[in-house]
Amino acid sequence: MEYKNIADIKKPVSRIVFGTAISAMMRGEHVHKLLDEVFAAGVNTFDLARNYGFAERQMGEWMAARGNRDRIVLLTKGAHPSEDFKESRVTPHAIREDLEESLRMLQTDYIDIYLLHRDDPKVPVGPLVETLNELREEGKIGIFGGSNWSCDRIDKANEYAYAHDMFGFQVSSPAYSLAAQDDDPWGGGCVDLSGEAHRRDRAWYQEEGIEVFAYASLAHGFLSGKFRADEAGRACKVLDDFAVKGYCSDANFMRLKRAESLAREKRVTIPQLALAWVLNQPLLPMAVCSASTSKRMISNLKALDVKLTAEEIRWLSEG
């Protein structure tokens, strides 16, 4: 495992992060064996959210049973909109409400990394930054940031923070993978860093030094290796509606075809190559990925051994 030292986090952060939005955890099934094996393989950082069903509760029960909270980096998210996306919950009240429930479910008194799960550009950043700083001062959260926040909104939040001698956003979690989103898969303003359209955003992250936790690093299953580039019909059966909407474009099937070619050459799997594409980016992001079995997750970790040149990275993406 590779780890990254991030300012204001006392523990090293694994470059590959286990995403807990898997069916077993969200339904509340017993997953201690899976978490044991993932943790034993070196993954110490876990991506959660208040709206991931029972995932936080499962994580909390596992940490309590193993007594390992001090060795775990918890990233969780709050302030997600209502289920139908009609009600924005990006408010100081919702942030506090969700955080308190996350702490209770996780059986802990602090969260290492706390993110606002969505943004609402109509809401002024000032009260949000103030609330997050209050929670940090209370010791309930460490560093904080946003998931699905645009560069412009993060910039505004940090301008406010610095002008008022406060902490700003140190972390961001956008979608980022070899496959660029063709449409917003989940709704509510998902933010993607992939593809030519977001080249300037990636440059902005490098300039600002904000840590990136890339979710959907396997494009919500599009880069899982469960179908070939010439099996578009099968892809539509294997993938859920979100992945089909977001990733099943001609351009992404061409990227998958190039990935198949290079994976054969390097003797690695498609997921290993796709994760390596993320991990080898100049941003040095963390890659959030999920797996329902420890065997599959541990196989994914071998992506850390795959080194890609700048030309290979460009070719996979652009041809």
Q: What is the pLDDT of residue 83?
A: 76
Residue type, 77: K
- The dihedral region occupied by 107, where left means phi > 0, alpha psi between -120 and 50, and beta the remainder, is left
Note the Cα 251 to chain centre separation in Å: 23
Structural domain of residue 175, as residue ranges? 3-219+271-310
Listed as own residue / partner, the contacts of 98-106 with beta carbons closer than 8 Å and 24 or more positions apart are 98/50, 99/135, 99/140, 99/141, 101/50, 102/48, 102/50, 102/56, 102/76, 102/78, 103/140, 105/56, 105/57, 105/59, 105/60, 106/48, 106/56, 106/57, 106/59, 106/60, 106/63, 106/74, 106/76
Query: Per the structure block, which two tokens stand in for 213?
Result: 């936790």
Which residue is it, tokens 């080194």?
Answer: 307
Which residue is it, tokens 């950043």?
Answer: 125
The answer to whether 161 and 128 are in contact (CB under 8 A) is no
Q: What is the pLDDT of residue 305?
A: 98
On whether residue 126 sits in a domain, the answer given is yes
Q: What is the pLDDT of residue 261?
A: 98
How many domains does the structure of the chain reveal? 1
Q: What is the pLDDT of residue 86?
A: 76
Q: What is the pLDDT of residue 114?
A: 99
On whether residue 238 sits in a domain, the answer given is no
Question: Rounded to whole angstroms, what are the CA distances from 5 to 26, 43, 158, 212?
Answer: 29, 14, 21, 13
- The dihedral region occupied by 266, where left means phi > 0, alpha psi between -120 and 50, and beta the remainder, is alpha
pTM equals 0.95
On whether residue 44 sits in a domain, the answer given is yes
CA distance 105 to 137: 21
DSSP 16-34: EEEE--SHHHHHT---HHH
Angle, CA 301 vertex, CA 299 and CA 303 arms, to 5°: 100
Mind listing the pLDDT tens digit of every residue in the chain (319 residues)? 999 999 999 999 999 999 999 999 999 999 999 999 999 999 999 999 999 999 999 999 999 999 999 999 999 999 988 777 778 899 999 999 999 999 999 999 999 999 999 999 999 999 999 999 999 999 999 999 999 999 999 999 999 999 999 999 999 999 999 999 988 888 778 999 999 999 999 999 999 999 999 999 999 999 999 999 999 889 888 999 999 999 999 999 999 999 999 999 999 999 999 999 999 999 999 999 999 999 999 999 999 999 999 999 999 999 9
Q: What is the pLDDT of residue 27?
A: 95
On whether residue 255 sits in a domain, the answer given is no
Query: Per the structure block, which two tokens stand in for 315?
Result: 């070719």
Q: What is the pLDDT of residue 188?
A: 75
On whether residue 318 sits in a domain, the answer given is no
On whether residue 206 sits in a domain, the answer given is yes
Q: Report helix, strand and coil shares of the chain as percent, to nearest 5.
A: 45, 15, 40
> Which of 113, 102, 103 shows the shortest CA–CA distance to 4?
113
Helix (H) or strand (E) holding 127: helix 125-137
On whether residue 264 sits in a domain, the answer given is no
- CATH value at residue 26: 3.20.20.100
On whether residue 275 sits in a domain, the answer given is yes
Q: What is the pLDDT of residue 17?
A: 99
The answer to whether 286 and 43 are in contact (CB under 8 A) is no
